[in-house]
């Protein structure tokens, strides 16, 4: 199966040996987890709400670079430093998915890259 790397300067570059996203010939896009980095790689300073807003902007930019959008996301995984942030993250996340939301998992983890509070990854359908 053929795969294509998707990359955009509208979201932060990968900070390790991975791609922002990979599209498959089977019309799926696998987006790497996004954290609250600005497109220039600067860490956003702010609370979990501000971090989640930046994460969603980054994911939106990667989706757009592949020619798709949040409307075509079928699965997300949210990683939180603490479940105490669940309600705030859920509010920001929910504002982006205005139609039927994708399937989702949310887990609390011991640590995240750059010591952020939230990371979100997504799988989306590619348009014809």
pLDDT band at 127 (very low <50, low <70, confident <90, very high): confident
pTM (2 d.p.): 0.95
Q: Please report, for residues 88, 111, 117, 120, the alpha-carbon distance to residue 46 in angstroms, rounded to integers and kept in the order given.
A: 13, 17, 10, 17
Residue corresponding to tokens 């600005």: 38
Dump pLDDT digits (tens) for 63-101.
999 999 999 999 999 999 999 999 999 999 999 998 999
C-alpha closest to that of 121 among 65, 64, 74, 66: 74
Question: Domain residues of the chain, as ranges?
Answer: 3-125
Phi, psi angle pair for 64, to nearest 5°: -60, -40
Binned at pLDDT 50, 70 and 90, residue 103 comes out as very high
Q: Name the CATH superfamily for 3-125.
A: RutC-like (3.30.1330.40)
């Amino acid at each position: 199966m053929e795969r294509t790397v998707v990359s955009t300067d509208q979201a932060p570059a990968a900070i390790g040996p991975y791609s922002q996203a990979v599209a498959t010939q089977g019309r799926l896009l696998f987006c790497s987890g996004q954290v609250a980095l600005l497109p220039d790689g600067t860490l956003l300073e702010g609370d979990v709400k501000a971090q989640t807003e930046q994460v969603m902007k980054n994911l939106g930019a990667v989706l757009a670079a592949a020619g798709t959008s949040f409307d075509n996301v079928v699965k997300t995984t949210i990683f939180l430093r603490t479940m105490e942030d669940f309600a705030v993250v859920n509010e920001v996340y929910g504002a982006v998915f205005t139609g039927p939301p994708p399937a989702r998992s949310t887990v609390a983890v011991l640590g995240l890259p750059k010591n952020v509070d939230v990371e979100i990854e997504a799988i989306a359908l590619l348009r014809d």
